[in-house]
Amino acid sequence: MPHVAIVGATGAVGDLIRQLLSERNFPVDSIKFLASDRSAGKEVSFRGEKHRVQPIRAEAFDGVDIVLSSTPSSVSREFSPLAARAGATVVDNSSAWRMDPEVPLVVPEVNADALRSIPKRIVANPNCVAIPLTVVLKPLHELAGLKRVVVATYQSSSGKGAKGLLDFQNQLLAYASGRPVPPPQAHRGQLVGNVITLDWTLDPNGYTEEENKVINETRKILAMPELAVTVTCVRVPVRVSHSEAVNVEFARPISVEQARDVLAQAPGIVLMDERKGEVPQPIHAEGRDEVFVGRIRRDESVAHGLNLWLVADNLRKGAASNAVQIAERLLERA
């Protein structure tokens, strides 16, 4: 029975982690809820009991076995190492540690074996697009060998957190009533009635930071550093769940039926069949931990290619659920 701390406990992902620990009956001897000084003192409920949120301090990690952290990268760089030095294993949801060669970047359905070695006592939780993408790519790679992956994302407003959802809601209310849409506060443009092709910081190579994260993290999770991956990320007027249009070129022959069969048996996937009128949509994935996959079809432009469509709840499988699943695997290995 581990002693647990949730860091960033009052944020959207931290709040969901708290719910998921109860939903999944995660064993807990004791639990602490930590947040910024601004949120310290608030009360949260866990399994019928009230807990007061404590400020993030080095001494707060004394006696803690597992830390589930969801903070900005700058906070993570300061406090995750402190928690690790205190003896905890940290599951970190920020981007701070993902590309550190001494930090495993883990999707339990894909590369749980990476948890055999945790030199810094920090495990990184991947990007909300890379997680569902690799859940789907792994079984296909084992079947036919990945050669090239092209991804276009359709990412929901909640990817910007609670501020993004509030921004979208305010725009939606104004748009629906015929009033002028207020200037964006979280997104980089009007989202309602629109899509935003540059809702992230632009990196020097012309890709956004989000696109570069997906490329680099997909390679690391799959242990394929030379995999050809290219990504275009777009924000769409949807509250929750990210969608991805994925084109895959394989090294060996693969049929649509073979792909369906292997995905139907893969962990963490719900296969939907358009021949039965089933098409993955954001509303299917919201509140669920599985990755929904459909629209599987041949890419006639290459020798061995497929197109497919996937959807996952970016707050759950794209963040909180994956973190809790990692913690469950850590307990199994203890």
Residue 333, pLDDT score = 84
Is the domain of 223 the same as that of 253?
yes
Cα dist from 247 to 26, 111, 199, 308, 329, whole Å: 37, 22, 23, 7, 31
With beta carbons less than 8 A apart as the criterion, state whether 97 and 217 touch.
no
Residue tagged active-site, from 3, 141, 187, 242: 242
Maximum CA extent, the chain: 60
Residue 282 Cα distances to 122, 157, 231, 309, 311, angstroms: 31, 12, 20, 11, 6
**Domain enclosing residue 106, as ranges:** 3-125+319-333
Q: What are the φ and ψ backbone dihedral angles of 268, each rounded to 5 degrees? A: 80, 10
pLDDT at 33: 96
* pTM for the model: 0.96
Distance separating alpha carbons of residues 334 and 2, to the nearest angstrom: 10
How far is the C-alpha of 271 from the C-alpha of 15, rounded, in Å? Answer: 29
Cβ partners under 8 Å of residue 186, min gap 6: 160, 161, 163, 164, 166, 167
Domains held by the chain: number = 2
**186 and 248 inside one domain:** yes
- Token pair 């009230």 is at which residue? 50
Mean pLDDT per block of 10 residues along the chain (334 residues) reads: 94 93 95 92 92 94 97 95 97 97 98 97 98 98 98 97 94 96 96 96 97 98 98 98 98 98 98 94 97 97 98 97 98 85
* 296 and 151 belong to one structural domain: yes
Token pair listed for 87: 């003896």
Same structural domain, 157 and 96: no
Check residue 19 and give left, alpha or beta (phi > 0: left; psi -120 to 50: alpha). Answer: alpha
Q: What is the pLDDT of residues 186-212, one digit of tens each?
A: 999 999 999 999 999 999 999 999 999
Pair 234, 298 in one domain: yes
pLDDT for the residue numbered 85: 97
- Please tell me whether residue 4 adopts helix, strand or coil conformation: strand
- Look-up: residue for tokens 């970047």? 105
Catalytic residue among 128, 187, 233, 284: 128
Are 198 and 58 within one domain?
no
**In this structure, are 165 and 223 located in the same domain?**
yes
* The predicted structure's pLDDT at residue 152: 98
Report the C-alpha gap between 318 and 133 in whole angstroms: 10
Residue-level pLDDT at 12: 87
The residue with tokens 């690391």 is 220
Active site residue 233: no
Q: Packing angle between helix 130-144 and helix 209-222, nearest 10 degrees?
A: 40
Q: Supply the CATH number for residue 63's domain.
A: 3.40.50.720
Q: Which residue has the tokens 């809702």?
A: 199
> What's the burial of 7, exposed, middle or buried (CB within 10 Å: 0-12/13-18/19+)?
buried
Per residue in 35-88, pLDDT (tens digit) is 998 889 899 999 989 999 999 999 999 999 999 999 999 999 999 999 999 999
Both 207 and 76 in a single domain? no
Catalytic site includes residue 242: yes
Cα torsion 200, 176, 242, 248: sign: negative
By residue count, the chain amounts to 334
Query: What's 208's domain CATH number?
Result: 3.30.360.10
Coil, strand, or helix at residue 295? strand
pLDDT (0 to 100) of residue 286 = 97
Measured between alpha carbons, how far apart are the two ends of the chain, in Å? 11
Alpha-helical runs (H) found in 92-251: 108-111, 130-144, 161-177, 209-222
